[in-house]
Amino acid sequence: MASLSEIVSYTDRFLHIREVGDWDNALNGLQIENSGGVTRIGAAVDVSTRVLTEGQKRDLDLLPSKQTTRFRPSDGVLFIGDASRQS
C-alpha cells in the first residue's frame, strides 16, 4: 500500500507546488486527506459532490483532479480505468 504522504510529497516536488502561486479561489496541493493509505486511485477534471460521491462508492483512496475543490466545477467528469469502457 502506498502512503498518502509519500504520494503528496512526490507530486508537490514534481509539480513545484511551492514555486507556483495559488489563485484567490484555486489552491494547489492536497485539499482533502484520508487516513493515510492509498490502494485505489481515480481521476477527475473537477471536484463536485457527484464526483466525491462516486469516488466513495468506488472505494477510492485518492482522487486527483485538474481543478481545486474551490474552483467552480463544470460537469464533474470522473475517470477510472479504461476510458473506452466509461459512459
* pLDDT tens series, the chain, 87 aa: 889 999 989 988 998 888 877 666 666 677 777 888 898 988 888 888 888 899 999 999 988 887 666 555 445 554 454 444 444
φ, ψ (nearest 5 deg) of residue 80:
-140, 125
pLDDT at 70: 59
